[in-house]
Structure 1
Amino acid sequence: MKKVCFYARVKDKSLFNLVGFYAQDIKIFESLGYEVILVNSLKELLFCKADLYYAWWFGYGIFPLIVSKLKGKQFVVTGNIHTQDGGNLKDWFWLKRIAMILTMKYSSRTLFTSYTDMNRIEDLKLSNSEVVYHSVIENCATIDNSIRKNIIVTITHLTKENIKRKMLLESIEAFSLIAKDIKDYKYYICGTVGSGLEDVKEKINQLNMNEQIIIKGKISDEEKKVLLLKSKIYLQPSTCEGFGLAIIEAASLGVPVVTNSEPCIKEINENSVEYGDTPAELGHALLRLIKDEKYWNDMQYKGLYKAKKYGFINRLNKFKSILETMEK
């Protein structure tokens, strides 16, 4: 059996199975007949014996790139270009930027999760790059709209950088603009709490929205699934995405999405979501879905249909094709 060294710079190896995009790529390699060796330290990486090296994230990919070259093995890397606050390649610290460029240029294959992200580095003129879209876990749940409650939900990490990138304060303002018209609705904000929590609380207090906006904090994957299945709308604009996996995950569970017209989001979702670029526009989009049942049903159908494009089998087949090409 062939072995793949799967490298990501995570603090704990349990995250390989907890973080969706790691877990799905592990499953892909296993489905293709590989023994997957999970590596999260440089020492392990140096002594790892494998037929193929695979890494998540271009900056840290410099380490498995060097090891693969020393051992004469193929190396595949994937990740996103943008910074945590939505910047591009030029916005990374110079040393990491150099590492990213070297990794992308000298890997056997450099994989991007969208054409939008790949085009951010078109000046590099990479000859080894391909787009392989993310996949969502196949939805086996029964979608029963009769159990849906008047809930709007956002799921995001509550760090200062992330609430800025995910436009969370703008989303809170958007909800507040229509709150008087939807007094029976609640807006749930879920996600691991961090450095941005106080900013979120302050915004809610300023707008006097404590009764309708509820910070639920961290939830498990199962809790997330249950919440989405009973919610009416998923609200998540963003200043910058490499794919926007959370949006497709929500759509796959029958939740119409309100987001903004960020280029990557538009590439992935096209007309299957509602767009708004300001709090007023986001609020209008929310209100339209709430007040027009037929339109809500139409958007649910479009979202479900679009999510099927990003099924697990599609990413698996793309990986299979790439690996077969590399073996020739």
Structure 2
Amino acid sequence: MKRVLFYSSVKDYKLFKLTGFYVEDVKVLEEAGFSVICTNRYIPFLKFWKYDVAFLYFYKKSLIPALFARLFFKKVIYTGGIDELSKNIVLNKKRRAVFRFFFKINYLFSDSCNIVSKGDFINVIKVLEKFPKMSSSKLSYSPHSINVVDYNFANSFEKENIITTICWMSTISNVKRKGVDKTIHLFKKIKANHKDYKLYLIGSFGEGSDYLKGIIKKEGLEDSVIFTGNIDENYKINLLSRSKYYMQLSIYEGFGIAVIEAMMLNNFVFHTGNGGLQDTIGDGGYLIKDFNEYYDAVMFFDELENEQFIDAKQLEKNKQFVIDNFSRSSRAKYFKNIILD
């Protein structure tokens, strides 16, 4: 059995067991038949006798693990969203140039780069096209996945007047990128006609959550917005099962794994369609094109509530879209082929 050393630069090792895409990809690799060792340190990559494959998340701090793995002739695989290459992300020219440089260097040391959204794939191709000698042959597309079996009991929970969104809130920049501040402003307008609704913000605390608490206080929503902090998979599934609506108002989204989880659990999704959301939602949900005008979104929400139910056929269509496109078995087969090739 091949041993996969799974790296991300998370500060807290517990995040490997709490962050959705880490949890899922560990299970994906295990289903593919590999032994997985998670680490947030560089030293394990020097212990070449303990692993066979370096599996690296993101393209900033993974360069040193890649160098160590290459030194010992190990296979190097990269994955994860590449938000910084999107023009929707506000970066000065210097920072964007630095990130492009890091991506190119990491790409050179890789055996394979798994791109998780079509939007990211287009952005990466544009970077590589500027360097004709750099082939794009190491790129391949396979979106994030979920184990659809875990979500089959969705209908066993009664829906409540709950709206949810999931975000890592350790930094202000991330909650802004995820549009959580805009979600709060939209929720404020929704509350005018639907006073019994609650908004649940799921994810780690930090500077981002402090920033959001300031907005919540200003809007007078302290009794209506609930921070859960980091929660385990069972509680997350339970909460999304009871939630009616999920909001993903991202400026840019590398993929949006939480969206497909919400769709599997019969949440109606309000979203921006930015980045990977074009892949994850398809033609489901409600598309918000203009952040400056929420009037249409609020009117649509009112219509859904006045009808007393959301179109069950549409929700089932959304669920089937997830099953057809984002199953764990497909991603496991993808990585099995790459690692054993």
Counterparts of residues 23-38 of structure 1 (less than 5 Å): 23-38=23-38
Counterparts of residues 3-22 of structure 1 (less than 5 Å): 3-22=3-22
2:273 match = 261
Alignment-mate amino acid for residue 2 of structure 1: K
Indicate which of 245, 249, 253 corresponds to 2:257.
Answer: 245
Cα distance in structure 1, aligned partners of 2:271 and 2:154: 22
Cα distance in structure 1, aligned partners of 2:157 and 2:23: 32
Counterparts of residues 182-197 of structure 1 (less than 5 Å): 182-197=194-209
Q: Is the 8 A contact 1:275 1:285 kept in 2?
A: no
2:57 is aligned with 1:48: no
Counterparts of residues 120-199 of structure 1 (less than 5 Å): 120-123=123-126, 124-125=128-129, 126-138=136-148, 139-144=150-155, 147-158=158-169, 159-199=171-211
Bigger CA drift: 236-245 or 265-274?
265-274
Q: Give the CA deviation at 1:57.
A: 1.1
3-state SS, counterpart of residue 121 of structure 1: helix
Alignment-mate amino acid for residue 58 of structure 1: Y
Q: Is the 8 A contact 1:258 1:285 kept in 2?
A: no
Cα distance in structure 2, aligned partners of 1:196 and 1:268: 25
2:110 is aligned with 1:107: yes
Bigger CA drift: 190-199 or 120-129?
190-199
Q: Is the 8 A contact 1:89 1:97 kept in 2?
A: no
Indicate which of 212, 228, 231 corresponds to 1:220.
Answer: 231
- What is the CA deviation profile of residues 203-255 of structure 1, one whole-angstrom value per residue up to 9, with x for unaligned ones? 334333344x2223315122222111111111221001110111111111111
TM-score (norm 1): 0.87
2:292 is aligned with 1:280: no
Q: Give the CA deviation at 1:313.
A: 0.7
2:133 match = none
Indicate how the Cα distance of structure 1 residues 6 and 199 shifts in structure 2: closer, same or farther if over 3 A, else same: closer
Cα distance in structure 1, aligned partners of 2:226 and 2:152: 26
Bigger CA drift: 271-280 or 235-244?
271-280
Q: Give the CA deviation at 1:130.
A: 0.5
2:338 match = 322
Alignment-mate amino acid for residue 165 of structure 2: T
3-state SS, counterpart of residue 154 of structure 1: strand
1:233 match = 245
Cα distance in structure 2, aligned partners of 1:194 and 1:228: 23
Counterparts of residues 295-306 of structure 1 (less than 5 Å): 295-306=310-321
- What is the CA deviation profile of residues 111-149 of structure 1, one whole-angstrom value per residue up to 9, with x for unaligned ones? 110111121122314221011110013234422377111
Q: Give the CA deviation at 1:7.
A: 2.2
Cα distance in structure 1, aligned partners of 2:93 and 2:104: 11
Q: Give the CA deviation at 1:294.
A: 5.5
Q: Is the 8 A contact 2:143 2:331 kept in 1?
A: yes
Indicate how the Cα distance of structure 1 residues 101 and 236 shifts in structure 2: closer, same or farther if over 3 A, else same: same
TM-score (norm 2): 0.84
Cα distance in structure 1, aligned partners of 2:69 and 2:93: 27
- What is the CA deviation profile of residues 31-90 of structure 1, one whole-angstrom value per residue up to 9, with x for unaligned ones? 333232333322221123233222111222322322232222321111221149935796
3-state SS, counterpart of residue 144 of structure 1: helix
Q: Is the 8 A contact 1:64 1:75 kept in 2?
A: no
What root-mean-square deviation, in Å, do the aligned CA atoms of Structure 1 and Structure 2 show? 2.6
Q: Is the 8 A contact 2:151 2:264 kept in 1?
A: no
Percent identical pairs in the alignment equals 27
Q: Is the 8 A contact 1:8 1:40 kept in 2?
A: yes
Runs of at least 5 residues in structure 2 that lack an aligned partner in the other structure: 130-135
Cα distance in structure 2, aligned partners of 1:89 and 1:64: 28
Number of residue pairs matched? 324
Cα distance in structure 1, aligned partners of 2:57 and 2:271: 26
Which structure has more relative contact order (CA 8 Å, sep 6+)? It is 2
Indicate which of 272, 289, 311 corresponds to 2:327.
Answer: 311
Q: Is the 8 A contact 1:166 1:236 kept in 2?
A: yes
Alignment-mate amino acid for residue 246 of structure 2: Y
- What is the CA deviation profile of residues 95-125 of structure 1, one whole-angstrom value per residue up to 9, with x for unaligned ones? 5542321112331111110111121122314
2:271 is aligned with 1:270: no
Alignment-mate amino acid for residue 193 of structure 1: F
1:2 match = 2
